[in-house]
């Protein structure tokens, strides 16, 4: 059990100007571009041809490669392929004449960052594209580093929390992992049963084998048997080919039967046999196969009452229940709730490329007070909500989901300002436009363009098409209004022609 580090850590990658390599057989570009990029503060060199480019990449740290598409020895796409194969940490921008746009588009599919058409609109456009590429590169490097840090800290799927009940669970996982016995993991929904199963696999001698996860509740009932044990050709109407089952896929590794309580009866019989004999029989076959599989099962229903109700075989229950691990609900883990909350806030913020905000005292108190019936999963979702709905450095109470705040809040808290319709309309808009996938600046620019357009349209509408009246109502001075008005026109006509 590892604890997530405390305290937000603001990561700054180097903000140095990008180092650029220009590859072009045209001497004009090869010389001119580096000069223009150099004027923008970048360090850039130009070389003739892909081979020369590769030898620069071999010895110099480069961030962005600008390459022509058509060159005599090695084409731009070929150079891109070589760069990708060698794994140089660079972004590649293709420069192309209109004629080979298709090539350029394919290059982008093959991993180029972007393409620019020659002749360039302006040198500024090139500078801007190179900056964007370099920033993209930096963000990716940062992400990879964070991922590495996280896995050095015990893995993205390590169980976080140092409360006594979690320490005890951790100790028991380490105890049962190396032996091959079947383990039954019990616990409420969202407590981390799947993580426990993965930890068992990872700490076992089967770690290098595969961990095959089967959600017993999600399989169509009449296919469960063949999914688990395979079938021979012609075993049933659609069995045109013999197929191995998941037991075989897990041979030498671990089979995780999630929601084992949902297994239909016929599959239960076969599972019992597989557990007892280490043998499986594909559907429609008389021949048994030996498999070396360790079974870990999980359930959030009470199997004993399922046995009493006749939906779960008693003998299978005993066979599975040899070693039972109970994953405690979050409300029994004391301070872990804060450690986990902090961990989720940080990883969610970092995934979104922003510095992690801090929970305000009121928000932290609410996290502590709430009973988290959905356990860790609910906490994770609540923190996601909180990060999305907070803008600055702190997460206000109002950024938490309403149901989280609701519980017991009335007595001790002032009336909670709920997230009004405005915020959710904005959120809908953000997700509809996919802005969460963009950098902040791009996202803002995108939404501002749409806003300006829609605002002017609505304004004109309410002014019954009278432009001077619209200008007056906008309270902008005339030149600003004219710009807004024109921009909107330019925007829509450009869109109209290119799309």
Site residues (CB under 5 A) for Mg ion? 194
Pairing of strands 183-186, 211-215: unpaired
Pick from ligand ATP, Mg ion, none: which does 380 bind, CB < 5 to 8 A by kind? Answer: ligand ATP
Residue 134 touches ligand ATP, criterion: CB under 6 A: no
Residue 329 binds to ligand ATP (criterion: CB under 6 A): no
279-280 and 254-258 strand pairing: unpaired
List the structure tokens of 131: 């900056």
C-alpha 260/C-alpha 238 separation (Å) is 26
Q: How far is CA 134 from CA 13, 30, 90, 131, 222, in A?
A: 11, 20, 8, 5, 53
Q: Considering the rule CB under 6 A, would residue 262 count as an interface residue with ligand ATP?
A: no
Q: What, of Mg ion, ligand ATP, none, does residue 377 touch, CB below 5 to 8 Å by kind?
A: ligand ATP
Cβ 389 to ligand ATP shortest distance, Å: 20
Query: Among residues 190, 282, 356, 357, which is the contact residue for ligand ATP, using CB under 6 A?
Result: 190
Instruction: Report helix angle 361-369 to 336-351, nearest 10.
Output: 120
Please select the residue that binds ligand ATP; options are 68, 91, 194, 362, rule is CB under 6 A. 194
Cβ of residue 299: shortest distance to ligand ATP, in angstroms?
A: 8
Q: Are 239 and 232 in contact (CB under 8 A)?
A: yes
Q: Taking CB under 6 A as the rule, does residue 300 contact ligand ATP? A: yes
Nearer to ligand ATP, 210 or 300 (CB): 300
Binding mask 365-384 for ligand ATP (x = CB under 6 A): -----------xx--x----
383 close to 390: Cβ distance less than 8 angstroms: no
159 near 192, Cβ under 8 Å?
yes
- How far is residue 433's CA from residue 412's CA, in Å, rounded to a whole number? 39
How many positions of this chain bind ligand ATP (CB under 6 A)? Answer: 16
Nearer to Mg ion, 67 or 375 (CB): 375
Q: Does 230 bind ligand ATP (CB under 6 A)?
A: no
Q: Is 159 in the site for ligand ATP (CB under 6 A)?
A: yes
Select from 17-25, 30-38, 159-167, 426-434 the region that touches ligand ATP (CB under 6 A): 159-167
Burial group, residue 298, by CB count within 10 angstroms (0-12, 13-18, 19+)? buried
* Nearest one of 275, 256, 279 to 319, comparing CA atoms: 275
Among 62, 160, 173, 271, interactor with ligand ATP by CB under 6 A: 160
Q: Which of 192, 261, 329, 356 binds ligand ATP (CB under 6 A)?
A: 192
Question: What is the 8-class DSSP label of residue 331?
Answer: G
Structure tokens, 110:
């093959």
Residue 261: which of Mg ion, ligand ATP, none does it interact with, CB under 5 to 8 A by kind?
Answer: none
Name the residues that contact ligand ATP, by CB under 6 A.
159-161, 187, 189-195, 300, 340, 376-377, 380
């Amino acid at each position: 059990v590892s604890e997530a580090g405390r305290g937000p850590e603001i990561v700054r990658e180097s903000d140095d100007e990008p180092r650029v390599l220009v590859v072009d057989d045209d001497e004009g570009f090869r010389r001119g571009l580096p000069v223009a990029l150099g004027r923008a503060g970048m360090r850039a060199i130009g070389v003739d041809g892909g081979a020369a480019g590769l030898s620069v990449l071999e010895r110099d740290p480069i961030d962005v490669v600008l390459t022509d598409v058509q060159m005599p020895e090695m084409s731009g796409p070929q150079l891109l392929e070589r760069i990708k194969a060698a794994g140089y940490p660079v972004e590649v921008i293709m420069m192309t004449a209109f004629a080979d746009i298709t090539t350029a588009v394919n290059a982008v599919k093959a991993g180029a960052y972007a393409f620019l058409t020659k002749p360039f609109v302006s040198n500024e456009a090139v500078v801007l594209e190179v900056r964007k590429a370099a920033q993209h590169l930096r963000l990716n490097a940062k992400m990879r580093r964070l991922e590495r840090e996280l896995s050095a800290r015990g893995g993205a799927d390590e169980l976080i929390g140092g409360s006594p009940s979690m320490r005890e669970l951790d100790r028991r996982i380490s105890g049962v992992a190396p032996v091959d016995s079947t383990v039954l993991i019990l616990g409420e929904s969202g407590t981390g049963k799947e993580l426990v199963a993965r930890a068992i696999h990872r700490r076992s001698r089967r770690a290098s084998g595969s961990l095959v996860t089967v959600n017993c509740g999600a399989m169509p009932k009449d296919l469960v048997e063949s999914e688990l044990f395979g079938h021979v050709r012609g075993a049933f109407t659609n069995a045109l080919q013999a197929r191995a089952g998941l037991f075989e896929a897990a041979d030498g590794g671990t089979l995780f039967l999630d929601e084992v309580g949902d297994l239909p009866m016929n599959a239960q019989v076969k599972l019992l046999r597989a557990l007892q004999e280490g043998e499986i029989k594909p559907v429609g076959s008389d021949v048994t196969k030996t498999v070396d599989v360790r079974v870990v099962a999980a359930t959030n229903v009470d199997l004993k009452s399922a046995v009493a109700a006749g939906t779960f075989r008693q003998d299978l229950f005993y066979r599975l229940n040899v070693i039972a691990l109970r994953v405690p609900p979050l409300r029994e883990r004391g301070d872990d709730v804060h450690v986990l909350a902090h961990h989720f806030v940080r990883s969610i913020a970092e995934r979104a490329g922003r510095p992690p905000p801090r929970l305000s005292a009121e928000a932290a108190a609410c996290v502590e007070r709430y009973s988290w019936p959905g356990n860790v999963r609910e906490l994770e979702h609540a923190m996601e909500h909180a990060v999305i709905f907070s803008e600055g450095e702190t997460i206000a109470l109002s950024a938490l989901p309403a149901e989280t705040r609701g519980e017991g809040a009335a007595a001790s808290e002032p009336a909670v300002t709920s997230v009004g319709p405005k915020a959710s309309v904005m959120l809908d808009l953000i997700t509809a436009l996919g802005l969460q996938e963009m950098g902040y600046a791009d996202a803002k620019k995108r939404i501002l363009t749409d806003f300006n357009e829609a605002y002017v349209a609505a304004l004109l509408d309410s002014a019954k098409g009278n432009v001077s009246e619209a200008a007056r109502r906008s309270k902008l001075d005339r030149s600003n209004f004219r710009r807004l008005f024109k921009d909107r026109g330019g925007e829509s006509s450009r869109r109209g022609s290119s799309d």
